[in-house]
Amino acid sequence: MTYDRLVCANCAAPVNEGRCRVCRASRERMQDQGPFAGLNPAMLIALMVILVAALALLAHQAV
């Protein structure tokens, strides 16, 4: 889940605004998890399908 959709239980504001120390800590923790941590599983699967299709296209053209 991405932090732009999370609501803080401490201040009831969106986490991406970082209004309280809990929001800021959660936002930093989620940002430190890597570039693909915020993507949902469907998006990861879609990226993998696109990558496999691109590789298959390149392999077909090379033959």
Q: So where are the chain's domains?
A: 1-32, 39-63
| Residue whose structure tokens are 């691109």 | 54
Rounded CA gap, 37 and 40, in Å? 8
Q: What was the pLDDT predicted at 6?
A: 81
Rounded CA gap, 45 and 55, in Å? 15
Q: What was the pLDDT predicted at 9?
A: 86
Q: What was the pLDDT predicted at 4?
A: 66
Q: What was the pLDDT predicted at 3?
A: 58
The pLDDT tens digits along the chain (63 residues) read: 555 678 888 898 888 888 899 888 888 887 777 677 667 888 889 999 999 999 999 998 877
Q: Within a 13 Å sphere around the CA of 61, how many CA atoms are in the beta-carbon half?
A: 6
pTM, 2 dp: 0.46
Residue-wise burial string across 8-26, b where 16 or more C-beta atoms lie within 10 A, e elsewhere: beeeeebbeebeeeebeeb
Take residue 23 and report the two structure tokens written for it. Answer: 């929001």
